Amino acid sequence: MDHAADAHRTDLMTITRFVLNEQSKHPDSRGDFTILLSHIVLGCKFVCSAVNKAGLAKLIGLAGETNVQGEEQKKLDVLSNEVFVKALISSGRTSILVSEEDEEATFVEPSKRGKYCVVFDPLDGSSNIDCGVSIGTIFGIYTVKDRENPILDDVLKPGKHMVAAGYCMYGSSCTFVLSTGSGVNGFTLDPSLGEFILTHPDIKIPKKGKIYSVNEGNAKNWDEPTAKYVDKCKFPKDGSSPKSLRYVGSMVADVHRTLLYGGIFLYPADKKSPNGKLRVLYEVFPMSFLMEQAGGQAFTGKQRALDLVPKKIHERSPIFLGSYDDVEEIKALYAAEGKKE
């Protein structure tokens, strides 16, 4: 056995060690956030294992119900939702939970309440389970104003008030990407240790990218700025090379690639979905938070995404996010359109 190599493996920056290091920078911290995060991480490990076994365990297939969004639920969605709800409540650090799978927000019973509210999509892209495409969990964390008296307005706040956001992608490897408001860090699950190890410290998105990511099947219903932008990606007028198109159709996978390689991810409003398709609280906000923390931008077609004030927990919004310069271009096209009106 190579004992030297084994010894080296114990000197790894695990996610627990990383978060404890962060906690030590805040002398007044009581460790509540650290405990909450460890419960989220445990939920992700459980779901990762379930996703890997899905084909074997006959978890694939419809659970026979339709969720609030009118999507047929997969058994894994149901399982993942239960895992996260139970993990978050048992942490004793949450007051309100908003899940993509549940029509109403969950208010935690008084004896288990804490100062945080968690909004999450337990299994994003679950229609891709059957074909082995990457899927993931997305989450955002807010603080509650009065833990004795939590109200829905504690989560109906602009994304800029989130204290942390992240996602876990279940793909060729299991990757956990997190921001607590001071940069973005990526961790990869080492299955032999059962630990997330820091593999992508301080992720910064390139200022300009060579990739655009959008569902071109909706092109006939797009508004003019989106159509113009995509046309410009394919047929640049300035003599530069066209951008490459990459679209998985699983938001976590598309955003993860955008974060690492640069470029732009678009899910615009169209005639069929005038408010866009992606949900504000647990898709648009967490991903926009991460993009801004990594030096990119996120825009709704009207304003900075994180300034949006949601009225309902399952509200939707168009979104354009990615490299700073690429999002600037789409903002300029919407500004020009606004001047014409």
Q: What pLDDT does 129 receive?
A: 81
Dump pLDDT digits (tens) for 253-310: 999 999 999 999 999 999 999 999 999 999 999 999 999 999 999 999 999 999 999 9
Cβ neighbour number for residue 162 with a 10 Å cutoff: 24
Within 8 A by CB and 6+ apart from 275, the residues are: 269, 315, 316, 317, 318
DSSP letters along 260-317, please? HH--EEEE--BSS-TT-SEEIIIIIHHHHHHHHHTT-EEE-SSSBGGG---SSTT-EE
pLDDT (mean) for 12-39: 92
- Rounded Cα distance between 8 and 215, Å, is 45
Q: What pLDDT does 6 receive?
A: 60
Q: What pLDDT does 227 receive?
A: 97
Residue that the structure tokens 């084994």 belong to: 6
Dump pLDDT digits (tens) for 294-332: 999 999 999 999 999 999 999 999 999 999 999 999 999
User: Domains (ranges, CATH) in the chain?
Assistant: 3-200 (3.30.540.10), 211-340 (3.40.190.80)
In the chain, what percentage of residues exceed pLDDT 70? 91
More confident residue, 6 or 76: 76
pTM: 0.92
**Closest-CA residue to 134 (of 165, 101, 173, 176):** 173
pLDDT (mean) for 118-123: 98
Query: Is the Cβ–Cβ distance between 254 and 304 less than 8 Å?
Result: no
Within 8 A by CB and 6+ apart from 303, the residues are: none
- Rounded Cα distance between 242 and 215, Å, is 17
- Rounded Cα distance between 318 and 119, Å, is 19
Query: Is the Cβ–Cβ distance between 166 and 139 less than 8 Å?
Result: yes
Range from 32-46, 61-75, 102-116, 156-170 carrying the lowest mean pLDDT: 61-75
Q: In the chain, which ranges are E strands?
A: 62-66, 72-74, 94-99, 106-107, 116-124, 135-143, 164-170, 174-179, 185-190, 195-200, 211-213, 244-245, 264-267, 278-279, 297-299, 316-317, 319-322
**Closest-CA residue to 152 (of 116, 120, 107, 108):** 107
- pLDDT of residue 252 exceeding 90: yes
- Residue 222 carries which DSSP code? B
Q: What pLDDT does 7 receive?
A: 56
Please give the order of strands across the beta sheet that includes 264-267.
Answer: 244-245, 211-213, 264-267, 319-322, 297-299
DSSP letters along 127-163, please? GGGGGT--EEEEEEEEE-S-TTS--GGGTSS-GGG-S
Dump pLDDT digits (tens) for 182-224: 999 999 999 999 999 999 999 999 999 999 999 999 999 999 9
Which pair of structure tokens corresponds to residue 188? Answer: 């990869």
pLDDT (mean) for 135-153: 95
Q: What pLDDT does 71 receive?
A: 61
Dump pLDDT digits (tens) for 61-101: 555 566 666 665 558 888 999 999 999 999 999 999 999 99
pLDDT (mean) for 120-137: 91
Residue that the structure tokens 């048992």 belong to: 90
**Closest-CA residue to 30 (of 109, 122, 92, 101):** 92
More confident residue, 313 or 337: 313
- Residue 92 carries which DSSP code? T
Q: What pLDDT does 52 receive?
A: 85
